A and B are shown apart, each in its own frame.
Chain A
Amino acid sequence: MRLLEGVPRRGLVLLAALLVVLAVFPVFASGYLLAVGFLILYFAYVGQAWNIMMGFAGQLSLGHSLYVGVGAYAAAALYVHFGLSPWIGLGASIAFCALAGAVIGFLAFRFGVSGVYFAILTIAFAEFARIGFDHFTWVRGSSGLFLPVANYAENDLWNLRGSPRMFYYLMLGLTVAAFVLSHALLRSRMGYYWLAIRESPEAAQALGVNLFRYKMIAVVLSAAMTSLAGVVYAFYYNNLFPEQIFHISRSIELILGPIIGGIGTLAGPIIGAFLLTGLAEGLRELMLQLGVEVPGVKQVFYGLCLLLVVIFLPDGVWPPLAKKLRLDR
């Protein structure tokens, strides 16, 4: 159990407790709460995937909706057109997204595009895909791709047609896997290379770290992981519109979690997803209770909360929290 070495016991206990709570949660939860739970796990998972690129290797991507979208479309189109199971389709999703990530990474790192410029390059590619898919008639273009709606009474795991509860557990599995993978990566030689690149690319290069190769690995890995979230998204919501899935606000939405939670930390994306989704839904509920029905009020509060967090907790919520719980090493 090399993976567990050096992890404080309190951390393990808390983690196990959280896992148990998440595992039994659907038994008690209503349909609404289950949907909220799914969203939280979804954001925790994509956040974790994005964190590999930004938090570990220090490459700021603002275009991750590209990978969600391409992943979702690849698997959904294969299912709709050929009846291929998403478990086969996700192979295509991963391949396409890894390729997209590789192309973007190759172009960016070969031509020395970095920092803000890299972030804008990723936006450009995502926007390019959005408009491209709008005119891609094989997947119905801007009128949207619809999956045949499932019969919720029966869980068909092979074709991913089933109840929200099934999707919840699927997402939970993915989130746990992503967490363990990130943990293992951070402990690996590559993880240390990434941190070195993040802190100082010049110094890392001087010590003989192959910058290009390790940045590429981070981008491709992050893209491939994100594509899986896209596949689940497609089969959970059963409809895909380029206008929605590739939109820049999606990219921003999915990176807020890890930033709020704490970039580069393992628990950050999860904490961030809990806080943000919880906050959004809580505000919705509060508005409902107060009978305020003006659109936009919720988002203003949401924006204010974000503002307060970035001003007062520049490293995110997790680092100070970890200190309090004495989980930092």
Chain B
Amino acid sequence: MALGLSVIFGVVRVVNFAHGEMMTLAMYLTLVLFTALELDPLVALVPIAAALFVLGYLLQLGLINPFINRPEHSQFMLLVAIALILVNVQLIVFGPDAQGIRTAYSFDSFQVGPLIVDASKVYAAAAALIVAAALFAFFRFTLLGKAIRACADNYQGALVVGLNVKRLYALTFGLGAACVGAAGAMLMAVIDVTPTIGPAYTLLAFVIVITGGLGSMMGALLGGLLIGVTEALGGVLFVPSAKSMFAFGLLVLVLLFRPQGILGKKAS
């Protein structure tokens, strides 16, 4: 999920404040597909990522593109408004109660040495790695991926060589949204959903992406790992409910000493 945010920020340079809300949307879609068609979350991942791609594409094309050259607070307002609408539409449609799904393997677990791991979490993690690898390959090896990276590196340069930057931006936002969609579907296998969990995840994604390095995909993965370990250790060593404090502490340290993130490139 952080990957999606990183992709969007890295290229479009817009901080997506509606990220967590888009993820809860994906989670609800998973829920609907599961209850209606008995579709496994890990299978539902594909159509949901596609649906979120379309949503992201249209959002960028219709609403966000005109804001690209506006000041940050203006973009920020726009996304806050979008987030507000998303959360509350979900609230109207799905109600405020927590809802979860039970898959056939919900109660399965693997034993690795002394550790016992939930099967759902293992499958979700594997799916996350596959999505990440696919994204990485796309940006590295395809022409379209290269074009998108060109836009990120030099907006004007990309315009000059005749790239349709606005369309590429929309495509990128769509891709980022698709990542979120996939993340939502995977997460649905692990936790329950309510409309209001979105903002917390937006924040978490921020912490991860910034720690790892905005715009760097390896950074997002590394940041996710680092924050996960920090929170787990903080939770074990101190009070569990204070674990996020350590994540934020880490974020502050990274911002101060290496604002571009651990693997980020220097801002141009």
Binding site for B on A (CB under 8 A): 54, 60, 62, 107-108, 111-113, 115-117, 119-121, 123-125, 127-128, 131-132, 134-135, 142, 248-249, 252, 256, 259-260, 263, 294-300, 302-304, 306-307, 310-311, 314
Contact = CB atoms under 8 A, between A and B. Distances in A.
Contacts of A127: 203, 244, 248
Nearest to A58: B71
A115 B80 CA distance: 18
A123 B206 contact: yes
Contact of A314 (B70, B80, B248): B70
Contacts of B66: 311
Chain B residues touching A, majority SS: helix
**Which 10 residue pairs spanning A and B have beta carbons closest together?**
A296-B91, A303-B84, A296-B88, A303-B85, A306-B81, A299-B88, A307-B81, A296-B92, A131-B245, A128-B248
A107 B254 CA distance: 12
Given A121-B255, A303-B84, A306-B80, A249 B199 contact: yes
A303 B81 contact: yes
Measured as residues with beta carbon below 8 angstroms from the partner, the interface class of chain B is 35 or more
Interface of B: 15, 63, 66-67, 70, 72-74, 76-78, 80-85, 87-92, 96, 195, 199, 203, 206-207, 210, 239, 241-242, 244-245, 248-249, 251-252, 255-257, 259
A307 B77 CA distance: 8
Given A134-B241, A300-B92, A303-B82, A123 B73 contact: no
Given A298-B88, A310-B74, 11 more contacts: A108-B256, A113-B255, A120-B210, A120-B255, A124-B251, A127-B244, A131-B242, A134-B242, A296-B92, A297-B88, A299-B85
Nearest to B75: A310
B206 A310 contact: no
Contacts of A249: 199
B92 A307 contact: no
A111 B255 CA distance: 9
A248 B77 CA distance: 14
